[in-house]
Structure 1
């Protein structure tokens, strides 16, 4: 066998290994418990292509930690793990051994948060651990001209400081809207402060090989992780139990968010009624519908989620949300977009206390007696 040296060109085996690993990820779509209807199966195959696009950005296009750049790790056509339709996500790959600066305009989004993370879904344990966080809820400082500066380093810095560790490998940004039509997202850039060169190094064969392997591992690891989640939710249909909050933090969750995850499974003549009898003070709350693969449904064109700003409230201050295949002619209807089953999520963001939502399944004909039109 030939011995590889740093200048040995990468052989086709690296490409074939990449393709084989992507191929094996397809087994997650045909697991025995997954829906086999045409829509869910088609979305499952599309999901793998979307995960591949995300992973190629993460490990191939934006992986130079000396010259980091923000990219969108989840958006309208690439979705992971109950992605929030109210969020504009950004991510940059960094090296915790070095210092970085994030700067730009604050924008008008209701909530802006930065999280330093270590690990990833491509690793064997599947953890994307939250190292530290700074956000508008906990006192992110904004300059008089509406700009912000955040320093990322292992040692404390004045002003906005995001602590990193030696194993920190990325920073994740959540920009949360109340109303996408009227709010402006933060416009941010990131630079390494102690860079030793003014231009990126040429791509080496060894780096390409490593990055291809990580790309495929991310696709398979992410598909497996959230297929496992969906399988667990399926055991308790049409409920919204609190998630394991500590586990959510191990997967990159925001410490200011309290998460719920569930599974809906409705007959043609059934609706799911979700009720909150009181609303605590909070930066935001929202509820959303996802497909089986934990991708948010098509929120660009269909009402599949509701939040603090868009909800219609009851006279008593509570809120009732209706999940149904057909318009029941009542406030806060969310369209299942042809899915008879799928996953769902509820969040409190920066809430001063936690109030649990409660759910019940009704016949469509019963709904008019309970919800004011």
Structure 2
């Protein structure tokens, strides 16, 4: 922020305007749930408001509490929740969301771990310079194209293996400018977080990276932000809740136009920070009535990993990671003798095929991803009577 912006943002925090703006934006996020619940379905409405509270916790953690490192500290790995998870999150994947200040340089060191795949990206959201200074709440929806903390581009990506030596030791510098070392991951001036996706073949036998991050120049230790900074953080946190609700609702509306089909929707995927540079990811809206089954068939290409999963209307996972309901993946599914995987989405176990249990649900979002694939598979879907299988 400039000095004038700092002064304006500080005044808004001290007067209470920033807080009122925060509450108005959250009210707009709640209106998304009200307006976008299909047919006023009670379960979808309840889960929509629960999703709103969960996204609020996420946004507060990322935008208010998750400070850039001021001293050497661990990079925290966040495994997926046992139930739920946002945006078709894979149960075979952990995340790192490490806040950084792109005006500083950081060194990341530690051990690679044995998880076979660790992808990194520079999370760079759309946050204009006037945030925290100008009122947003009453026009929060109108400015989403300009101010959208969940609409993130990832201008720089890398695999952790690129910075790992033969002994499994990790050492690289994270910065906007070239530090003059071989192991350098660039970030953009607007980058706010280092994102990592850690994919496992077998969680019971594989370990995540154990990393430390530290600023290369001393930073004064101050855990309480200034009034100007707090004004900005409140605005970003509330707008992130709204943008997640709105962007995923828009995505779901697109999928609803072609029920029980899987398709590429890269515009939506990129908007929420997806990284398609090393994966093929198709999404759809499933609807399976009483006595029906949705059959999904494909021949898996040579790839690092694939996984299929079901979600509710708000793209929260239905997968029960304790029992295996709601998803299937390459480590626990065998193709038939012809090399075809035949998934059957149904409320009851079918006579043939690999059962993906809907747990009594009849609609929601689904996703099928292939990581580090050598070719793009042909995927077919068809709705049939369960008794005919």
Which TM-score tier does this pair reach, normalised by the shorter chain?
0.7 to 0.9
Instruction: Please say if residues 326 and 357 of structure 2, whose CA atoms lie closer than 8 Å, have aligned partners that are also in contact.
Output: yes
- Paired position in structure 1 for 2:46: 42
Give the equivalent residue in structure 2 for 1:30: 34
Distance 1:38 1:298 in 2: 21
CA distances 1:166-206 after superposition (whole Å, capped 9, x unpaired)? 22221100001122233222222322223343x23532222
Confirm or deny that 1:234 pairs with 2:256.
yes
1:19 aligns with 2:23: yes
Tell me which protein shows more helix as a share of its residues: 2
Match of 1:133 among 143, 148, 157: 157
Please tell me whether residue 256 in structure 1 is matched to residue 278 in structure 2.
yes
Compared CA separation, residues 14 and 48, structure 1 to 2 (3 A):
same
**1:371: which partner in 2?**
none
Out of 89, 106, 113, the position equivalent to 2:112 is 106
Structure 1 distance, partners of 2:75, 2:55, is 17
Q: Which residue of 2 aligns with 1:124?
A: 144
Correspondence for 1:273 among 295, 307, 329 = 295
Aligned match of 1:182: 205
Q: How many residues align?
A: 360
* CA apart distance, 1:299: 2.9
TM superposition shift of 1:112: 0.5
Change beyond 3 A, Cα 1:325–1:159 = farther
Return the alpha-carbon distance in structure 2 between the equivalents of residues 261 and 63 of structure 1: 34
Which residue is equivalent to 2:80? Answer: 75
- Extract unaligned runs of 5+ from structure 1: 368-373
Mapped to 1, the partners of 2:278 and 2:95 lie a distance apart of 16
Change (3 A) 1:72 1:338: farther
Task: Note the 1:199-348 alignment, pairs <5 A.
Answer: 199-200=221-222, 202-244=224-266, 248-254=269-275, 255-276=277-298, 278-302=299-323, 303-328=325-350, 330-348=352-370
TM-score, scaled relative to structure 2? 0.84
Displacement of 1:354: 0.8
Contact conserved, 1:50 with 1:78, CA < 8 A, in 2? Answer: no
**Per-residue deviation at 1:48?**
0.6
Distance in 1 (alpha carbons) for counterparts of 2:9 and 2:291: 66
- Which TM-score applies when normalising by structure 1? 0.87
Structure 2 unmatched ranges of 5 or more: 1-6, 128-139
| In structure 1, distance between residues paired with 2:218 and 2:84 | 32
| Deviations 1:290-342, CA, capped at 9 Å, x for gaps | 11111111432342111221112111122111111122254531122232110
Quote the Cα distance in structure 1 between the aligned partners of 2:42 and 2:12. 46
Question: What is the alpha-carbon distance in structure 1 between the residues aligned to residue 9 and residue 311 of structure 2?
Answer: 47
Q: CA deviation at 1:220?
A: 0.6
State how far apart, in whole Å, the 2-side matches of 1:70 and 1:33 are: 38
Cα shift at 1:236: 0.2
Per-residue CA distance 1:220-253 (angstroms, 9 max, x = gap) = 1110000000011001000001232x65345322
Q: 1:268 to 1:29 in 2, by over 3 A?
A: same
1:120–1:297 CA distance, 2 compared to 1 (3 A): farther
Cα shift readout 1:68-95 (whole Å, capped 9, x = no counterpart): 8745678316733222222101111222
1:160 Cα offset (Å): 3.7
1:213, distance to aligned residue in structure 2 (A)? 1.5
